[in-house]
A and B are shown apart, each in its own frame.
Chain A
Amino acid sequence: MNLRWKYLIKRTGQMLLTLWIIATILFFIFRLMPGNPLVAYIDPTFTEEQQEILMKQFGLDKSLWMQYIIYIKNLFQGELGQSFFFKDSVINVISKVLPNTIYLMLTALIIAYTAGIVGGIFLAWKRGEMIESVGIVFTLFTRAAPQFWVGMILLAIFSFQFDIFPSGGVSQAGTVYSSELDKLLSFQFYRHLFLPALTLSIYLLGLPLLLMRSNMLDVMDESYVEMAKIRGVSKIRVLVKYAARNAFLPVITAMAVGIGYAMGGNVVIETVFSWPGLGRLLVKAVSTSDYPLAQGAFILIAGVMVFMNFVADILYSLLDPRVNIDSKR
């Protein structure tokens, strides 16, 4: 069998194993949390008979192991169960908010990676100058600043002080969109998207910027770049055509991993900006002991993370032939 295929099968196996471990941990972690989910959903004034009916509905009348077996079986069939809180299937509930999370995530990633790559090239170009030091300190600051803090500062300035952008939601009160496309074509939507996307991109900016800068510095020491300089190629051309193109590759693979991280990062930002997405749903599910919904949301986030890691690995091996995919060689 072709070596690349073997690698692909091995990585797929590892990915599935990781997902199974995550699913198992998620199952037990929620059930071992202090407190009884019944308290949240079953009014104590109900008769015992009524309480039993509800327990049956939630599947909580079965043993823990039986619940686990049913859960894994359903998971294989793509069935994430029924949300206790919303009394609807987890897939339905998640599908209502997932598009909003994707819009926010993709916008923020595009802004962060575009600005990061340009910024990285710029800082590498200004190597040793004052502006490089300032740029690095600023980047580290954006990376270290808590997202809720950045979000609140942006809200205070752009929303409450100058009233330029709305403070939350994806649309103005009472707006009705005829379709998802209608929403995406509306100016209001982008006004609402601006602040949360900016907050998330400030958080995401550090990785591509610093990665690009350090790759650029490595590449600029390479002999072919030196040769280009000796040949009298202009500095901009050396930077863009010779150095940046080669320094670009690790940033693209990092972006794949970044998608996974961006999904997780949305929890705080979605709450600060009342953005109706997966992160906010996750907070709600955990705070109301809605096991199936919390599990579903976590599995989705973990699944995206693991899958994007897998994509990054595969991309890397495909795009850069120098990457050794056979550990024995």
Chain B
Amino acid sequence: MSRKISVVLSIIMVFTFIVTLTNETGFGAESDRLVEVSLITRPKASSPDEFETITILAEEMRKVGIDAKVDVMPWEQMADVVWYDRESWDITGWQMTARPERLDPDEFTYNLFHSSTAETGYNFIGYINNEYDEVAEKQRVTVDKEERRKLIYKSQEIIAEDVAYIFSVNPMVNIVYNNQVFAESSIKEMAGLGIKNFWTYLYAEPISDQKDLVLNSNDTVQAVNPLYISGSVDSWITELVWDRLMRMGQDGLPKPWAAKSVDWIDKTTIRVVLRDDLRFHDGEKVTVEDVKFSFEVPKTGEAPMYKPFVDIIDVINIEDDQTLVFKLKKPWAAFETASLAKINIIPKHVWEPVIEDLKDKPENAESYQEEVPVGSGPFKFSNWKFSEEVVLSANEDYFQPPKVDKWIVRFVENMEATFGMIQNGEINFLATYLGDNQLLQQRVKEDEKLTMVSSIDLGFRFLAPNHRIRPFSDKAFRKAVAALNDRELIAALVWKGFAVPSDGVISPALEYWDNPNVNYPEAGLQNARKILEEAGYEWDEEGRLLYPDA
């Protein structure tokens, strides 16, 4: 009898053990339906805003029963996983930073979401939508600005409707300057980039004995090379030393600059008339030959980073001493911004022998550093003290000479020290500040010689969901997560008010292109639950979210 009891008890115990095991480890049918999400973020130390946004979202996801796990990894590892192992992750924190060429909506509209870039390009989320592809392609070739605006509006509507990204915020660019050194009216704000821009550097008017504009950067200069796109501080220098046919205006739209005029003859032909008063810093006149050479060098493969900006050009013909005609292989609406306002005009007499010499060598023009870089821009290269500073001097022969004597960028990695530096006059333009913005604002208020200008950034912060695998392959799930990601709360709590909620890839700073009326999910726990319910998601007895029953 006792043997029978022990056999029965053993069977019950084994059965209980198996049931427990299957429930715990997910062997059962119901466990298969549990919604598990891993959220990738950089560490708090390197990206506090991203880390906090992800942590808050994970918490909200848990409230609707999603098994949310936060995976913290350094940028190198994160980028490696997200870019090169595209099937392996669920959702990741990400950001798009401001760059002048991004003032045109093409890069964000086309590269981020077009299906052709899904395999190895910028569409790392794997978003595929044929209707969207058509709109993105069409805006590229529509050179009529108003027509193109309608298409850009449409593209924003589709992205919001599909919740291709879980948008967070457009941060504010906060720049502080010394108002006793520069006249307030001479500090220029530029759409999406704040007051740290070409126009401020050109127009800043000294009103004291200090005639130099001294700014800080937390990064060092890699190279001062017109054929190499390296760090962001390098680009501040190249855009001042080298001129461009067009410049991005304060409104974010391209304007003729080194060119007297830029006219579209038809959809693929552009006539450019060069100014006749431009000279390189070595005294040589800037000619149409120099311009042609500047646009042709990247095609040789010696400047690979600039190649994508000139690939579209079929041929450049010189009509006369001041006129060039660009013939494109196909229409490209962003040509003015991404090519004419991007390519640095370089002196042929300096670079032609260099390019010739490099043809038989493994390295290319990116590794070449001129001893004294020669451009034709508003500032001349003066001095580069490695890891310490770069000094540019005003080009007084320029058609619109800068008002400051020198433009000096100091490399300061100790962010805590930078505010002290602007207070004691070591710098007079705080161009980079990575500390607490609220604290910065408070300290600026206490010091009447300082002014802080906050502008909406061109770049944006978001969460990139992987459309290739579930749960984010499901639009309803993305909508629910978008509703859980309270953008107002993130802007107020994480960014302490120094950000605005974002609902698209086009920054509100770009008034011409930004569609203010897109249909993006409203924030709220109840709304998220409702969306999930309507899409067939269920909850088990413990409140855990289950995929819709197949």
Q: Which residues of A contact B (CB under 8 A)?
A: 33-37, 39-40, 43-46, 48, 50, 53-54, 56-57, 85-88, 93, 96-97, 152, 155-156, 159-160, 163, 166-171, 173-174, 176, 271-274, 276-277, 280-281, 283-284, 289
Task: Contact check, B362 vs A36: say whether CB atoms are below 8 A apart.
Answer: no
CA A34 to CA B385, docked complex, whole Å = 33
Task: Contact check, A87 vs B76: say whether CB atoms are below 8 A apart.
Answer: no
For A86, the chain B residues whose CB sits under 8 A away are 222-223
CB distance from A184 to the nearest CB of B (A): 15
CB distance from A92 to the nearest CB of B (A): 10
CB distance from B223 to the nearest CB of A (A): 6
CB distance from A223 to the nearest CB of B (A): 54
Interface residues of B in 182-200 (CB under 8 A from A): none
28 sampled A-B residue pairs with Cβ under 8 A: A34-B74, A34-B76, A34-B80, A35-B77, A35-B78, A37-B76, A39-B79, A39-B83, A43-B305, A44-B122, A44-B124, A45-B121, A54-B304, A57-B363, A85-B222, A87-B222, A87-B367, A97-B387, A159-B424, A160-B423, A167-B424, A169-B410, A171-B385, A173-B426, A174-B214, A271-B413, A274-B388, A280-B413
Q: Which of B73, B308, B391, B416 contacts A152 (CB 8 A)?
A: B416
For A88, the chain B residues whose CB sits under 8 A away are 367, 369
Assess whether B41 is interfacial by the CB under 8 Å rule.
no
Q: Which of B76, B220, B416, B417 contacts A40 (CB 8 A)?
A: B76
Q: Which residues of B contact A (CB under 8 A)?
A: 73-80, 83-84, 111, 117, 120-122, 124, 212, 214, 220, 222-223, 228, 301, 304-305, 307-308, 362-364, 366-367, 369, 383, 385-389, 391, 406, 408, 410-414, 416-417, 420-421, 423-424, 426-427
CB distance from A55 to the nearest CB of B (A): 12
Task: Contact check, A87 vs B424: say whether CB atoms are below 8 A apart.
Answer: no
Q: Which residue of A lies closest to B213 (CB)?
A: A173
For A170, the chain B residues whose CB sits under 8 A away are 385, 388
Task: Contact check, B74 vs A57: say whether CB atoms are below 8 A apart.
Answer: no
CA A96 to CA B411, docked complex, whole Å = 15
Task: Contact check, B387 vs A96: say whether CB atoms are below 8 A apart.
Answer: yes
CB distance from B138 to the nearest CB of A (A): 21
Q: Which residue of B lies closest to A87 (CB)?
A: B367
Task: Contact check, A167 vs B75: say whether CB atoms are below 8 A apart.
Answer: no
Majority DSSP secondary structure for residues of A touching B: loop
Task: Contact check, B387 vs A155: say whether CB atoms are below 8 A apart.
Answer: no
For A159, the chain B residues whose CB sits under 8 A away are 417, 420, 424
Task: Contact check, B426 vs A166: say whether CB atoms are below 8 A apart.
Answer: yes
Majority DSSP secondary structure for residues of B touching A: mixed
Q: Which of B387, B406, B414 contacts A273 (CB 8 A)?
A: B414
For A176, the chain B residues whose CB sits under 8 A away are 383, 391
CA A87 to CA B222, docked complex, whole Å = 8
Task: Contact check, A87 vs B427: say whether CB atoms are below 8 A apart.
Answer: no
Q: Which residue of A lies closest to B408 (CB)?
A: A173
Q: How many A-B residue pairs have CB under 8 A?
A: 134
Q: A34-B76, A50-B307, A271-B413 are in contact. List 18 more A-B contacts (CB 8 A).
A: A36-B80, A36-B84, A43-B305, A45-B308, A53-B301, A54-B304, A56-B362, A87-B228, A87-B369, A97-B386, A168-B414, A168-B421, A171-B388, A173-B408, A274-B411, A276-B388, A280-B413, A281-B387
Q: Which residue of B lies closest to A277 (CB)?
A: B387
CA A163 to CA B426, docked complex, whole Å = 10
Q: Which residue of B lies closest to A84 (CB)?
A: B222
CB distance from B125 to the nearest CB of A (A): 13
For A152, the chain B residues whose CB sits under 8 A away are 416-417
Task: Contact check, A174 vs B408: say whether CB atoms are below 8 A apart.
Answer: yes
Task: Contact check, B414 vs A274: say whether CB atoms are below 8 A apart.
Answer: yes
CB distance from B112 to the nearest CB of A (A): 11
CB distance from A192 to the nearest CB of B (A): 10
Task: Contact check, A36 vs B383: say whether CB atoms are below 8 A apart.
Answer: no
Given contacts A88-B369, A159-B424, A273-B414, contact A35 B304 (CB under 8 A): no
CA A256 to CA B108, docked complex, whole Å = 57
For B122, the chain A residues whose CB sits under 8 A away are 44-45
Task: Contact check, A35 vs B80: say whether CB atoms are below 8 A apart.
Answer: yes
CA A64 to CA B367, docked complex, whole Å = 25
Q: Which of B76, B120, B307, B417 contacts A33 (CB 8 A)?
A: B76
CA A45 to CA B309, docked complex, whole Å = 12
CB distance from B182 to the nearest CB of A (A): 15
Q: Which of A34, A43, A156, A280 contacts B77 (CB 8 A)?
A: A34
CA A271 to CA B117, docked complex, whole Å = 40
For B391, the chain A residues whose CB sits under 8 A away are 173-174, 176
For B386, the chain A residues whose CB sits under 8 A away are 93, 96-97, 276
CB distance from B316 to the nearest CB of A (A): 22
Task: Contact check, B212 vs A174: say whether CB atoms are below 8 A apart.
Answer: yes
For B424, the chain A residues whose CB sits under 8 A away are 159-160, 163, 167
CB distance from A314 to the nearest CB of B (A): 34
CB distance from A97 to the nearest CB of B (A): 6
For A273, the chain B residues whose CB sits under 8 A away are 414
Given contacts A87-B367, A173-B410, A174-B408, contact A36 B79 (CB under 8 A): yes
CB distance from A279 to the nearest CB of B (A): 11
CA A86 to CA B124, docked complex, whole Å = 28
CB distance from A258 to the nearest CB of B (A): 25
Q: Which residue of A lies closest to B305 (CB)?
A: A43
Q: Which residue of B lies closest to A34 (CB)?
A: B77
CA A152 to CA B383, docked complex, whole Å = 29
Task: Contact check, A289 vs B76: say whether CB atoms are below 8 A apart.
Answer: yes
Task: Contact check, A167 vs B426: say whether CB atoms are below 8 A apart.
Answer: yes
Given contacts A44-B120, A169-B389, A276-B387, contact A87 B366 (CB under 8 A): yes
For A44, the chain B residues whose CB sits under 8 A away are 83, 120-122, 124
